[in-house]
Amino acid sequence: MKARIGIIGTGWVGTSVAFSTLLAGHGRELWLHDTRAAVAEGEALDLTDGAAFYPPCEVRAVPLAQMRDADVVVLAAGRNGRPDESRLDLLRDNARIAAGMGVALKGFAGIVIVVTNPVDVLTRVVQAASGLPPERVMGTGTLLDTARLRERLAVRLGVATQSVHAQVVGEHGDSSVPLWSGARVGGTALRDWPGWQAEDEAALTQQVRRAAYEVIQRKGATNHAIGLVTAELIGCIVNDERRLLPVSRVQDNGVALSLPALVGAAGALEATAPAMDRAERAALVASSDLLDRAFGSLAG
């Protein structure tokens, strides 16, 4: 099924999401909105000029109210992080925007994908402000962290990225939790892989956590990888693929963080905690507590 896809925010991230989504062919219509109306219109015109090179899709700028008629809405509005600024440092600036978008989407019948950072806390903000069921408001969460982990493991081991099966849960941020105990290369447990050493885990954890900072220090923002991640997530929804993906949603304890969830046309369903060792479980609890405190700080 091809869908009507809306993107709110046409900065670095929103335009990368739009570009990746068009190339993937997930939409029959792609709607762009930004408080800078001329920028949204310009991006729509620019993307339309390339229509010969992607599957048929009408691209246009629309008013915010029209987003309520979309099947999937991506929230990419907000400011980017600054060099050496954590995602949680963005919280107050972007929470106000996210809450406003949530209110605008009250009664929305589709799926909301939150991309703006800090994505976990803002997923909770949007879900609370919109009143939508938790399964229909998801953040990109640790999908990108997981992709980064797999890429770096593949390079370290000299295998294809597709042969690495590992995931990151918890916060999309400095308290993220790579699940080393369950990581596999093909059918082999990573910790049984020839030459693998325990100290590699700490080093690669830091590489994954620092990845965004390294990009921001050099070019000012991250956008291409998260654009690809978001387009993949849109495809899972519009095609009802029912894939288990580590996306952020409000969990049973009321905190929004990433756990593997069954993602399809109905949203992010049946989130479950995968097998973890004791240290990983403790780290996930700490990550959850950190995110809960961050959300609570908004009331102050």
Place of tokens 């295998």: 159
Tell me whether the omega of the peptide bond preceding residue 118 falls within 30 degrees of 0, making it cis. yes
Which residue pairs, CB below 8 angstroms and at least 24 apart, start in 287-291?
287/169, 287/170, 287/171, 287/175, 287/176, 287/177, 287/257, 288/170, 288/251, 288/253, 288/255, 288/257, 290/171, 290/175, 291/120, 291/121, 291/124, 291/171, 291/175, 291/255, 291/256, 291/257
The pLDDT value given to residue 198? 86
Measured distance CA(75)–CA(138) in Å, rounded: 10
At 87-102, the pLDDT tens digits run 667 788 899 999 999 9
Residue 229 confidence class, pLDDT cut points 50, 70, 90: very high
Angle value at C-alpha 15, between 9 and 17, nearest 5 degrees = 95
The pLDDT value given to residue 85? 63
Residue 1 confidence class, pLDDT cut points 50, 70, 90: low
**Domains defined for the chain, CATH in brackets:** 3-141 (3.40.50.720)
The pLDDT value given to residue 173? 92
Q: What is the DSSP secondary structure assignment for residue 79, as one 8-state letter?
A: P
Residue 184 pLDDT > 90:
yes
Residue 300 pLDDT > 70:
no
Q: Which of 247, 260, 253, 261 is nearest to 289 (CA)?
A: 253
Residue 84 pLDDT > 80:
no
Q: Which of 26, 33, 172, 224 is catalytic?
A: 172
At 189-208, the pLDDT tens digits run 999 999 999 889 999 999 99
Across residues 27-32, what is the average pLDDT?
Answer: 97
Mean pLDDT of the residues in the chain: 95
Measured distance CA(69)–CA(275) in Å, rounded: 39
- Alpha-helical regions (H) of 138-277: 143-157, 198-219, 224-238
Q: What percent of the chain has pLDDT over 90?
A: 90
Token digits of residue 172: 């999309």
Q: How many CA atoms lie within 13 A of 226 on its CB side?
A: 27
Question: CB-based contacts of 297: which residues, under 8 Å, 6+ apart?
Answer: 91
Residue 147 pLDDT > 90:
yes
Task: Between 199 and 258, name the one with better pLDDT.
Answer: 258
Across residues 30-56, what is the average pLDDT?
Answer: 98
Place of tokens 């992080």: 81
Residue 86 pLDDT > 90:
no
Angle value at C-alpha 205, between 123 and 242, nearest 5 degrees = 45
Active site residue 172: yes
Instruction: Report helix, strand or coil for 126.
Output: helix
Produce one character per residue of 159-187: b if its CB has 16 or more CB atoms within 10 Å, e if not.
eeeeebebbbbbbbbebbbbbbbbbebee
Produce one character per residue of 203-212: b if its CB has 16 or more CB atoms within 10 Å, e if not.
ebbeebbebb
Token digits of residue 228: 């690809």
> β-strand 3-8 against 27-33: which pairing, if any?
parallel
Measured distance CA(18)–CA(30) in Å, rounded: 8
Residue 83 pLDDT > 80:
no
Residue 257 pLDDT > 70:
yes
